[in-house]
Structure 1
Amino acid sequence: MGKVKVLIAAGGTGGHVYPAIAIADALRDSSANTEILFVGTKSHMEWETVSKAEYDITSIWISGFHRRFTIKNLLFPVKLATSIAQSLFIIKKFNPDVVISCGGYVAGPVGWVATKMSIPLVIQEQNSFPGITNRMLAKNAELIFTAFGDAEKYFPNEKTQLAGNPTRKSLGRTNRKEALQAFNFSNNKKTLLILGGSGGARKINQAMQKHIKTLHNDLGLQIIWQCGKRYYDKLRSDTKPQNFEHLRLKDFIHDMPAAYAAADLVISRAGALSCSELALTGKPSILVPSPNVAGDHQTKNARSMVDNGAAKLVTDDQLVKRLPNAVQEIIDDEQRLKEMSKAAKNLAQPNAAEEIATEIIKLVRNKKQN
């Protein structure tokens, strides 16, 4: 078939970027003759994360449209026109066989230009309630892959497949003993992992700050707390992590395989990727859905985990009050931890990236033959 050139548009958050990288890995593994280029923005996490994954990335100038009036909205038409021109230039220069949209504002202009140039567009949607970019692009897409059955009603039925969320294969490969050593932790204490998503979560951080002494001193836990870059400096100043021997306060965790492997229990937002990673790693969790997302999709994600016995749900407004008790009742119960871990693993779809990659290669092959 010759070389396959793949352009992947994904940006904004880890929920869009990490599945995109997982698909890229699967495409590269399936054929050494695959050339992959990412499109993102320089102002978001993809700029560093994609490069760290050893893929080339180029940028366009785009951001979201704010629902309430802001000065930034006045720039939006200019950004949109510029991003379309930049997308046209990138696509003409790279000449991809297929374009993949994994969501985020960056995917809008890239996907739109691709369909106007008759280049096959593939969508991968991570959430039960699809983002606006993928909903807009769906009509002209050739293939759409969803992670939740709930998402299928928003897309044309004949080209939509339920595949699960692509997750990083490295997540399940780290040895627990080595992971604990990486954080300078003991094998004789339970470890709590706090994840607020790639940007951090204000309410989770507030609850942790209030109860850090109870969790660390009274319950005797080792704690890995990813708080997000925008909260890190203030939390470091207010919490004084140097006073807590078994606390590791991080703005961002680059070695997620080690963090998951070290954890006995995870407190996390209920983004689609987080839920998929918890399933893949078999980690019991306390899920705190963000109330600030479209279609309340994080609550739907969390309910699916809870109904299957893999997680406990605590609402955002109840977390500060309930955090210590919620942690203690799970982390002290060995039998419950085992049952939740097993239930989480039963929800895992570890081959999602490979299945998506196979279908993409098949699509490109059919297009080249015709």
Structure 2
Amino acid sequence: MDSPRILLAAGGTGGHVYPAIAIADALKAENPDTEILFVGTKDHMEWDAVPKSGYDIRNVWISGFHRRFTLKNLIFPVKLITSLIQSLRILSGYKPHVVISCGGYAAGPVAWVAGKKDIPVVIQEQNSFPGVTNRLLAKFAVKIFTAFKQADHFFPEEKTQVTGNPTRATLIGANKSNALDAFGFTDDKPVLLVMGGSGGAKTINEAMKANIEALHDQIGLQIIWQCGARYYDELSTGIKKKNLDNLRLTAFLDNMAEAYAAADLVISRAGASSCSELMLTGKPSVLVPSPNVAGDHQTQNAKAMVDAGASKLLEDNAMKETMTELVEQLIYDQENLKRMNQAALNLAKPDAAKLIAKEILEIAKSKL
């Protein structure tokens, strides 16, 4: 029997890329003979993250279309035509049995061409308000996996299954003592993990910059602050002038398992993948929904976790003024942290990637 060949298309942000990697890992776990290829763009995070996870990736030249007029939109038609030709070449050469769209504009051309060529297309949608790419591709899909029931309103009911978001199995299992050592921390002070997503978050960074000395000196925290590559140089230059021995400022976190294991409390955006990872790792969190996303879906994600008792919600525009007080209130309350930990674990769907992988392999089997 031939080995199943699966192509995963995802790009732009960790919210699209990491669920795709989790699916790839689950496919390999279910059937080690599965051949896997990714499609993404060279100028986004998938170009580094996918090879680091052990998978090959091919490039398509595509970017988003800006809703307001910009000179970049003038070249969009050229990029689109080029990406469709590239997609056709990739599909003709690789001959996948199934193409999976995990969203982001890199997924659009290759999954569209796959649909036109009658190659089975599977969609995995992370958010309660689906992205434009996956909404446009829904007509080609043979199966659509969603993380939130609310997303079902945008897709054909007969194709849709709520599975939760696939999360990387490598995120769990790290030892706290070893994790503290990895960051050069001790076990006598709480650890705050601050994340702005794969690209960083300007508001979170500004709030952290304004509050860093209070968090570090007055509250006495050890801090891991992932600020994003575009903000790192400016922030690190300013922070070098301060004596902050227990701060670890980083553009990007490669060792997420250790970061989660070390943390007592996490401050994060409320993207679907971030929320799923917080559930899986059972981390108490302060969620700061981005106000700049379609359908305000991050607020909906955050409210689901707040209602369950796993998180506290902090408004983006109030963060700078209120974060230090809220962090101090939470991080030294061990009983409350334990309750939040259990509430987060109760929301987790750790088998999402496995369930999705099994269904994809069944679809592939019909094409072998």
Q: Do Structure 1 and Structure 2 share a fold, with TM-score over 0.5?
A: yes
Distance in 2, Cα, partners of 1:193 & 1:249 = 10
Residue 362 of structure 1 and its aligned partner are, at CA, apart by 1.0
Distance in 2, Cα, partners of 1:12 & 1:70 = 19
* Alignment correspondent of 1:149: 149
Distance in 1, Cα, partners of 2:117 & 2:2 = 21
Residue 277 of structure 1 and its aligned partner are, at CA, apart by 0.2
* Alignment correspondent of 1:23: 23
* Alignment correspondent of 1:72: 72
Q: Are 1:287 and 1:311, in contact at CA under 8 Å, matched by a contact in 2?
A: yes
* Alignment correspondent of 1:328: 328
Runs of 4+ in structure 1 over 3 Å off: none
Distance in 2, Cα, partners of 1:23 & 1:211 = 38
Q: Give the secondary structure class of the aligned counterpart of 1:353.
A: helix
* Alignment correspondent of 2:310: 310
* Alignment correspondent of 2:105: 105
Distance in 2, Cα, partners of 1:297 & 1:149 = 13
* Alignment correspondent of 1:195: 195
Residue 366 of structure 1 and its aligned partner are, at CA, apart by 2.9
The one-letter amino acid of 1:352's match is A
* Alignment correspondent of 1:35: 35
Q: Are 1:241 and 1:247, in contact at CA under 8 Å, matched by a contact in 2?
A: no
Distance in 1, Cα, partners of 2:326 & 2:151 = 31
* Alignment correspondent of 1:12: 12
Q: Are 1:145 and 1:160, in contact at CA under 8 Å, matched by a contact in 2?
A: yes
Number of residues of Structure 1 aligned to a counterpart in Structure 2: 368
Q: Where does the alignment leave 5 or more consecutive residues of structure 1 unmatched?
A: none
Distance in 2, Cα, partners of 1:302 & 1:30 = 32
The one-letter amino acid of 2:329's match is E
Q: Where does the alignment leave 5 or more consecutive residues of structure 2 unmatched?
A: none
Distance in 2, Cα, partners of 1:265 & 1:235 = 22
The one-letter amino acid of 2:144's match is I
* Alignment correspondent of 1:228: 228
Distance in 2, Cα, partners of 1:237 & 1:254 = 22
Residue 241 of structure 1 and its aligned partner are, at CA, apart by 6.9
Distance in 2, Cα, partners of 1:365 & 1:251 = 42
Distance in 2, Cα, partners of 1:235 & 1:364 = 48
* Alignment correspondent of 1:219: 219
Distance in 2, Cα, partners of 1:181 & 1:259 = 11
The one-letter amino acid of 1:236's match is S
Distance in 2, Cα, partners of 1:361 & 1:208 = 45
* Alignment correspondent of 1:180: 180
* Alignment correspondent of 2:53: 53
Residue 139 of structure 1 and its aligned partner are, at CA, apart by 1.1
Residue 160 of structure 1 and its aligned partner are, at CA, apart by 0.3
Q: Deviations over 1:69-113 (max 9, x none)?
A: 111100000000000000000000000000000000011100100
The one-letter amino acid of 2:286's match is I
Distance in 2, Cα, partners of 1:267 & 1:99 = 35
Tell me the TM-score normalized by structure 2: 0.99
Q: Give the secondary structure class of the aligned counterpart of 1:194.
A: strand
Distance in 2, Cα, partners of 1:190 & 1:206 = 22
Q: Give the secondary structure class of the aligned counterpart of 2:366.
A: helix
Q: Are 1:241 and 1:249, in contact at CA under 8 Å, matched by a contact in 2?
A: no
Tell me the TM-score normalized by structure 1: 0.98
Distance in 1, Cα, partners of 2:240 & 2:287 = 26
Residue 20 of structure 1 and its aligned partner are, at CA, apart by 0.2
Residue 242 of structure 1 and its aligned partner are, at CA, apart by 6.1
Distance in 2, Cα, partners of 1:44 & 1:110 = 17
Compared with structure 1, are the counterparts of its residues 241 and 145 closer, same or farther at alpha carbon in structure 2 (3 Å cutoff)? Answer: farther
Alignment of 1:131-150 (within 5 A): 131-150=131-150
The one-letter amino acid of 1:278's match is L
The one-letter amino acid of 1:212's match is I
* Alignment correspondent of 1:347: 347
Q: Deviations over 1:303-357 (max 9, x none)?
A: 0000000000001001011110110111011110000000000011101000000
Q: Give the secondary structure class of the aligned counterpart of 1:243.
A: coil
Distance in 2, Cα, partners of 1:346 & 1:149 = 17
Residue 243 of structure 1 and its aligned partner are, at CA, apart by 1.5
Q: Give the secondary structure class of the aligned counterpart of 1:305.
A: helix
* Alignment correspondent of 1:356: 356
Q: Give the secondary structure class of the aligned counterpart of 1:39.
A: strand
Between the aligned residues of both structures, percent identity stands at 62
Residue 2 of structure 1 and its aligned partner are, at CA, apart by 2.5
Q: Give the secondary structure class of the aligned counterpart of 2:58.
A: strand
Q: Deviations over 1:125-174 (max 9, x none)?
A: 00000000000000110000000111111000001000000001011110
- For the aligned residue pairs, the C-alpha RMSD in angstroms reads 0.8
Distance in 1, Cα, partners of 2:228 & 2:59 = 23
The one-letter amino acid of 1:189's match is K
